[in-house]
Amino acid sequence: MGKVVILGVFVADTSYRADRMPRMGETILGNSFALGPGGKGSNQAVACARIGAETHMISKLGQDDFAKLALDTWAGAGVTPHADQISESYTGAAYIFVEESSGDNAIIVAPGAAALIDAADIDARADLIKSADVFITQLEQPMPAALHALGIARAAGVTTILNPAPAADLPEGMLALCDYVTPNETECEALTGITVETEADAKRAAAALRALGVGTPIITMGERGAYLDGHGLVPAIKAGPVVETTGAGDAFNGGFAAALAEGQSPLQAVKIGCATAGISVTRPGTAPSMPDRSEVEALLRA
């Protein structure tokens, strides 16, 4: 069992399914509503723990019912929390629109207390970060905190992963702290200026990311799979009809990080990430959709 430390955000997902997105000023009737645990960092932690890694989650929460949802979610998945609870803010929340016919989504995230994570919070968890086999973060918490944590991990020889989502301008030198960067096509274009529609596009974009200092770029390409620099396109692994794509990237990153932490090769780790994502999209919700290791191994054997 490898050890993975994750810096990220928990948000309570409020998910609305409807035939289409309402236009500005318009009200439409939805088909269903669900409340559940989410946030990129939290989803990745749940996926990582269910694949079998010793998983630690660094974040901040409010003192409210959504904080209880976070702590219960992590306890159920076997994630160890390192999350201060503060009364000056609220636990994060997200609005998720899911298009009924396709399962595609649009999301607004309000990070709440996690938006207050700063360098001092990272310094307080420095020993934890240094003790990891793999450290992974995203861009839902403040950028300076993510940059500082990556620097601590890199200096300690920890394998570093940046999932650059949501897309944002990165500080100079941040990508050079990353052994792996895992953007989707949209995030990759934001980082490189290269539109990624084909495997050839992904190869050019990966070269651009390497030129910016990334060790090994991995570009997730939805239903096509994931492009692993130095190998090529690793096909997606289908587990059944798509119900909802929310959290698929988080499932990939959590499975990938867990596999790397236990010593799997990058190619095998990407395959495990693809299988984790492939199962997750066949189920509604985000954290509840994350499969366990036995499900992933069964899919890989199929």
As annotated, the active-site residues are 250
For 58, phi then psi, to 5°, come to: -100, 125
Cα separation, 159 vs 170, in Å, equals 19
Q: How far is CA 249 from the centre of its chain?
A: 6
Helix or strand run (H / E) with residue 158: none
Q: Which residues contact 139 (CB under 8 A, 6 or more apart)?
A: 146, 163, 164, 165, 166, 167, 168
Cβ within 8 Å of residue 209, ≥6 positions away: 175, 181, 188, 191, 192, 217, 229
Buried/exposed code over 117-153 (b: 16+ C-beta within 10 A; e: otherwise): beeebbeebeebbeebbbbbbbbbbbeebbbbbbbbb
Asked if 196 and 202 touch (Cβ cutoff 8 Å), the reply is: yes
